A and B are shown apart, each in its own frame.
Chain A
Amino acid sequence: MLPDDVLIQVKGLRKYFPVRKGMFGSVTAHIKAVDGVDLTIKKGETISLVGESGCGKSTTGRSIMRLIEPTGGEVLFRSQVLGGADGQEAVVDVATLSAGSVKALRREMQIIFQDPYSSLDPRMTVGELIGEPLRVQLAISRKERDERVVRLLEAVGLGADHRRRFPHEFSGGQRQRIGIARALALNPRFIVADEPVSALDVSIQAQVVNLLQDLQAELGLTYLFIAHDLSVVRHISDRVAVMYLGKIVEIADADELFSHPRHPYTEALLSAVPVADPDFVRNRIRLQGDVPNPSAPPSGCPFHPRCAYAVDRCKAEIPSLRETSPGHQASCHRVEELDLSGVDTRYAAA
């Protein structure tokens, strides 16, 4: 069903949030937070979802994990826990699994949250926090649990003596390490990292990014990395998917995407990142206006009202993702004719 090297295949994933109005809360509209996302995640790779706030990248990550119920679509996952007793893997559709199976699936799919301040229960000790997944999932003794907590703490660069302390005694970077240790507790094979470094200071960001990469190399993890900081994304990702208004508009290998974007939105996004060089000559593609209201998306290509290259066809027809070169897909009507500039060419011109 799934090619051998594929861990997750997302097909037509949708998540609509109802907009309720009036006294009886009748549904007047839907916000299409995720609107038909197709995504293939290979074993051991880091794939990033980027886009601006409200583009649906977090909702996509949470729907894949079934932390929120998807409205439609399939999330095929190669599971070991739900496989046969002989260690056979089974391909399951996460979107339709029963609640009991979802609980078992949490052993294989974990999430690292953006905000290490609010994702750790302030009244639990670090030991209890990291031990929680072990407690609810595995029937192991308290002593064994404690030993595993110590090993996890050491794996993320903290000490055994930290487990009796409370989260507020730690700095932001250390808290994020605790969050990572917690996510690793059950030996997952897939981790959704939802903006794991955005809330951290610059010098701490680098430490956490390095830790995530070391753990990946050591444990063979597969990451879905959700971020808006494109510099970090470029550094950490094998492949990158760009989202706009609930849809993936471009997906490619990281280097390819950053040097040869094929979608005008990607180009604008790349050019908007401020470069830490005062001599850098800015050839910025200015986007007009704001992201449209997702409950009333524009007709045709959702990006056309802000697109500098839009033609009449863009207002009428919705483009679909098309392969422009092997592994590179973009959803733009003018993908063949446009010559867009990536970061490398911009820099070379400066």
Chain B
Amino acid sequence: MNNLLEINDLRVNFMTESGVARAVDGINITIAPGRTLGVVGESGCGKSVTSRAILGLVDSPGWIESGEIMFNSRKGVVDLAQLPRNGRQINAIRGSEITMIFQEPMTALNPVLTIGDQITEPLLLHEKISRKEAKERAIASLAAVGISAPRQRFDEYAHNLSGGMRQRAMIAMALVCNPSLLIADEPTTALDVTIQAQVLDLMNELRQQFAGAIMFITHDLGVVATMADDVIVMYRGKIVESASVRDLYRNPLHPYTQGLMRSVPSIVNRGETRLQTIEGSVPRPTEFIRGCAFASRCANVMPVCRESVPALAPVSGPHKAACFLHHSISEERADAA
């Protein structure tokens, strides 16, 4: 396997009061070593659930229904979807080979442990090094994320740090074991713009030095444009478009992607008096929809869209879209082929 990660037909379901919700509904993702994949979508589209599935963190009331998550670990290729949720194998990968940065650094950091304790924890768990070595590595990694006076910060608690500093500490913690995959789930959403800019700059810098791949989950189209090499757009548990970042922004193919881009007002010019919108709202996750899930909100809807589900198929080169405007391959036909 040349890729670092290959997700094949992953399905994750959740039990809710009103029935089974298909949070992730048959997605395929590949991440090559060193690449940054942006995952864009609105709340409930399944982007965070996907990242949790990779880390083996899908918890009741949710479960992985089917599909595989092949990960090229240091000990060979494993299917993360098959590993027991708290088994030794997944624990060895989690926190060392795959690490995660969360949206809310205050809740993701333990308030009663020092920053140092928390950064050395994965090192002591996963690598056979002494406490002293671990401390030196932790301090080096704090310095690498631009935290001033890292030696003092090492002994401080999360509440002593500002929001931006906490997120830097989270990043230091995520990178200290040199993971091959870093998952960043809305890492700057809770931050102010000027702090967001600092953290994004830092991540971009680290991206050059750090050999691993990044999966960057966000709802902000501006953030994706500055961070990602490739982008996938998710809607209601499915990938509707996947392309290199340039192709996606120059030539968005799926009506949902187009709608998203148009509905964001531009800071650069005031533009028209009214914003373009995508009418309606995302259907409830438990609702069964025949055909394309976006059909009810789509301006270009055709009869076929309400009949069968479009497959995510190549339109030009590696640029793929799941839309009958661009090809006539339905999921049923793709399965048969």
B197 within 8 A of A: yes
Chain A to chain B: the 4 pairs with minimum beta-carbon distance, closest first: A274-B222, A235-B265, A272-B197, A206-B263
B264 within 8 A of A: yes
Q: Given contacts A201-B219, A282-B226, are A276 and B194 in contact (CB under 8 A)?
A: no
Q: Given contacts A203-B42, A203-B277, A235-B265, are A274 and B226 in contact (CB under 8 A)?
A: yes
Q: Given contacts A272-B193, A284-B201, A290-B164, are A209 and B226 in contact (CB under 8 A)?
A: no
Which one, A127-135, A226-234, A327-335, is touching chain B?
A226-234
A274 touches B264 (CB 8 A): no
Contact with B along A275-312 (1 / 0, CB 8 A): 11111101010110011000000000000000000000
A145 to B295, CA, bound (A): 38
| One of B43, B223, B246, B278 near A274 (C-beta < 8 A) | B223
In this complex, what residue of A is CB-closest to B219?
A202
Q: Given contacts A273-B222, A276-B261, A290-B164, are A347 and B193 in contact (CB under 8 A)?
A: no
Bin the interface of chain A by size. 35 or more
Q: Which residues of B contact A347 (CB under 8 A)?
A: 268
In this complex, what residue of B is CB-closest to A237?
B270
B window 199-231: CB within 8 A of A: 200-201, 219-226
| One of B196, B263, B273, B281 near A272 (C-beta < 8 A) | B196
A207 within 8 A of B: yes
Q: Which residues of A contact B219 (CB under 8 A)?
A: 201-202
Q: Which residues of B contact A201 (CB under 8 A)?
A: 42-43, 219, 282
| One of A204, A279, A343 near B267 (C-beta < 8 A) | A343
B268 touches A344 (CB 8 A): yes
Q: Which residues of A contact B200 (CB under 8 A)?
A: 274
A210 within 8 A of B: yes
In this complex, what residue of A is CB-closest to B281?
A171
Q: Which residues of B contact A228 (CB under 8 A)?
A: 192-193
Q: Given contacts A52-B192, A171-B281, A202-B221, are A234 and B270 in contact (CB under 8 A)?
A: yes
B window 258-277: CB within 8 A of A: 259-261, 263-271, 273-277
A window 158-195: CB within 8 A of B: 171-174
A269 touches B194 (CB 8 A): yes
A278 touches B246 (CB 8 A): yes
A207 to B265, CA, bound (A): 12
Q: Which residues of A contact B270 (CB under 8 A)?
A: 234-235, 254-255
A16 to B268, CA, bound (A): 36
A271 to B259, CA, bound (A): 25
B222 touches A206 (CB 8 A): no
B37 within 8 A of A: no
B157 within 8 A of A: no
Q: Which residues of A contact B260 (CB under 8 A)?
A: 202-203
A113 within 8 A of B: no
B103 within 8 A of A: no
B225 touches A275 (CB 8 A): yes
Taking the nearest CB of chain A, how far is it from the CB of B184, in angstroms?
A: 14
Which of A202, A268, A270 is most buried by chain B, counting CB atoms within 10 A of its CB?
A: A202
Can you list 12 residue pairs at the A/B interface with Cβ under 8 Å? A174-B281, A206-B263, A235-B266, A269-B194, A271-B197, A273-B267, A275-B226, A276-B261, A276-B264, A287-B197, A343-B267, A344-B269
Taking the nearest CB of chain A, how far is it from the CB of B266, in angstroms?
A: 6
A207 touches B277 (CB 8 A): yes
Taking the nearest CB of chain A, how far is it from the CB of B259, in angstroms?
A: 6
Q: Given contacts A210-B275, A234-B270, A272-B196, are A277 and B281 in contact (CB under 8 A)?
A: no
Q: Which residues of A contact B224 (CB under 8 A)?
A: 276
A202 touches B263 (CB 8 A): yes
A213 touches B273 (CB 8 A): yes
Q: Given contacts A202-B42, A344-B268, are A286 and B197 in contact (CB under 8 A)?
A: yes
Q: Which residues of A contact B282 (CB under 8 A)?
A: 171, 201
A206 touches B225 (CB 8 A): no
A205 within 8 A of B: yes
Inter-chain pairs besides A206-B265, A280-B225, 19 sampled, C-beta below 8 Å: A52-B195, A201-B43, A201-B282, A202-B42, A202-B264, A203-B278, A204-B42, A205-B263, A206-B275, A230-B193, A235-B271, A273-B222, A274-B200, A274-B220, A274-B222, A274-B223, A275-B226, A290-B195, A344-B269
| One of B198, B225, B259 near A276 (C-beta < 8 A) | B225
In this complex, what residue of A is CB-closest to B196?
A272
Q: Which residues of B contact A232 (CB under 8 A)?
A: 265
Taking the nearest CB of chain A, how far is it from the CB of B147, in angstroms?
A: 12
In this complex, what residue of A is CB-closest to B284?
A171
A279 to B198, CA, bound (A): 19
B63 within 8 A of A: no
Q: Which residues of B contact A273 (CB under 8 A)?
A: 193, 222, 267
A223 within 8 A of B: no
A249 to B201, CA, bound (A): 26
Q: Given contacts A206-B276, A210-B275, A275-B222, are A343 and B197 in contact (CB under 8 A)?
A: no
A304 to B196, CA, bound (A): 20
In this complex, what residue of A is CB-closest to B248?
A278
B134 within 8 A of A: no
A77 within 8 A of B: no
Taking the nearest CB of chain B, how far is it from the CB of A227, in angstroms?
A: 11
A324 within 8 A of B: no
Which of A209, A287, A290 is most buried by chain B, counting CB atoms within 10 A of its CB?
A: A290
A320 within 8 A of B: no
A287 touches B198 (CB 8 A): yes
Q: Which residues of A contact B277 (CB under 8 A)?
A: 203, 206-207, 210
A286 touches B192 (CB 8 A): no
A203 touches B222 (CB 8 A): no
Taking the nearest CB of chain B, how far is it from the CB of A65, in angstroms?
A: 24
| One of A171, A209, A287 near B194 (C-beta < 8 A) | A287
A275 touches B268 (CB 8 A): yes
Contact with B along A225-252 (1 / 0, CB 8 A): 0001011101100000000000000000
A344 to B268, CA, bound (A): 6
Taking the nearest CB of chain B, how far is it from the CB of A48, in angstroms?
A: 13
Taking the nearest CB of chain B, how far is it from the CB of A114, in angstroms?
A: 14
